[in-house]
């Protein structure tokens, strides 16, 4: 049995350990949020690149149209020129130029028809992608809201745990409490208060000296000579 003064300290330690675990797990909320936000950024990027594909095709189409218009303009000018030329060779040369421009317009128009079909397909695919991505984003937004709510709950519970710890501290002998507090600063891996059984420290599992063992058995405050944890009789 632990000594009477150790019993409230052990109760305090178990609350402190729970509180420590809870505080550590608080870190999981921002980590989880960051992960979700990363996923959302990826989805938005996917959406942006799908929209860019359609935009690029439209830009290409606009360029084709302005090329065709420029060719048509040129044809009009050449025809006006034809009205003014006197020599037959010059007239023929202009006709030749006009014909090749007409051919160019035909080519552009053929390609434009194919491109228009492609744009229609791309737009239909984009609509499907947009819908799917919006659904994903909505699910992520819901997850973020749930994380916020979980964190708020958690923090509320945490403040209850802190109150509990304060209550327990009031029950511990002041001198013992200050020793316990300094151990929490010293020992990297709690618990700081561990049982001694068969001459062995319950923290580092090494054998303690006979003097320490005798102190602990006499219910005096004593520390493991290897790891420095406070010992109690189990
Ligand atoms: Zn030890």
200-201 and 193-197 beta bridge pairing: antiparallel
CA of 228 to the centre of ligand 1 (A): 6
Report the percentage of the chain scoring pLDDT > 90.
Answer: 95
Instruction: Give pLDDT, residue 132.
Output: 97
> For residue 220, how far is its CA from the centre of ligand 1 (angstroms)?
16
Cα 171 from chain centroid (whole Å): 43
Mean pLDDT across the stretch 175-199?
96
Q: Is the pLDDT of residue 233 over 90?
A: yes
Q: What is the pLDDT of residues 161-179, one digit of tens each?
A: 999 999 999 999 999 999 9
Q: What is the pLDDT of residue 1?
A: 74
Measured in Å, residue 230 CA sits from the centre of ligand 1 at 8
Encoded tokens for 60: 């290409």
Question: What would the two tokens of residue 115 be?
Answer: 């491109």
For 103-136, write each residue's pLDDT tens digit.
999 999 999 999 999 999 999 999 999 999 999 9
Q: Which residues of the chain form CATH 1.10.287?
A: 14-170
* CATH level 2 (architecture), domain 14-170: Orthogonal Bundle (1.10)
Residue 173 Cα, ligand 1 centroid: separation in angstroms? Answer: 23
CB within 8 Å of 39: residues ≥ 6 apart: 136, 140
Q: What's the pTM?
A: 0.67
pLDDT digits (tens, 9 = 90+) for 60-115: 999 999 999 999 999 999 999 999 999 999 999 999 999 999 999 999 999 999 99
Question: Which residues does residue 207 pair with via DSSP β-bridges, in sequence order?
Answer: 200
Q: Decide: helix, strand or coil at residue 192.
A: coil
Q: How far is the CA of 118 from the centre of ligand 1 (A)?
A: 74
Mean local confidence (pLDDT), 227-234: 95
């Amino acid at each position: 049995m632990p000594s009477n003064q150790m019993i409230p300290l052990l109760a305090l330690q178990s609350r402190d350990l729970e509180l420590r675990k809870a505080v550590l797990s608080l870190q999981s909320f921002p980590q989880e949020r960051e992960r979700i936000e990363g996923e959302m950024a990826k989805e938005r990027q996917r959406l942006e690149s799908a929209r860019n594909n359609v935009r690029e095709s439209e830009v290409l189409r606009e360029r084709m149209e302005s090329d065709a218009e420029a060719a048509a303009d040129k044809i009009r000018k050449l025809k006006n020129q034809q009205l003014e030329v006197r020599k037959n060779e010059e007239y023929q040369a202009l006709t030749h130029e006009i014909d090749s421009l007409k051919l160019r317009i035909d080519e552009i128009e053929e390609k434009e028809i194919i491109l228009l079909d492609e744009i229609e397909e791309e737009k239909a695919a984009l609509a499907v992608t947009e819908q799917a991505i919006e659904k994903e984003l909505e699910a992520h937004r819901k997850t973020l809201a749930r994380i916020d709510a979980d964190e708020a709950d958690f923090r509320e519970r945490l403040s209850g745990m802190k109150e509990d710890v304060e209550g327990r501290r009031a029950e511990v002998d002041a001198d013992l409490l200050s020793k316990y507090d300094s151990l929490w600063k010293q020992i990297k891996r709690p618990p700081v208060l561990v049982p001694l059984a068969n001459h062995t420290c319950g923290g580092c599992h090494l054998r303690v000296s006979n003097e320490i063992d005798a102190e602990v058995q006499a219910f005096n405050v004593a520390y493991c000579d290897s790891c420095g944890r406070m010992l109690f009789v189990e």
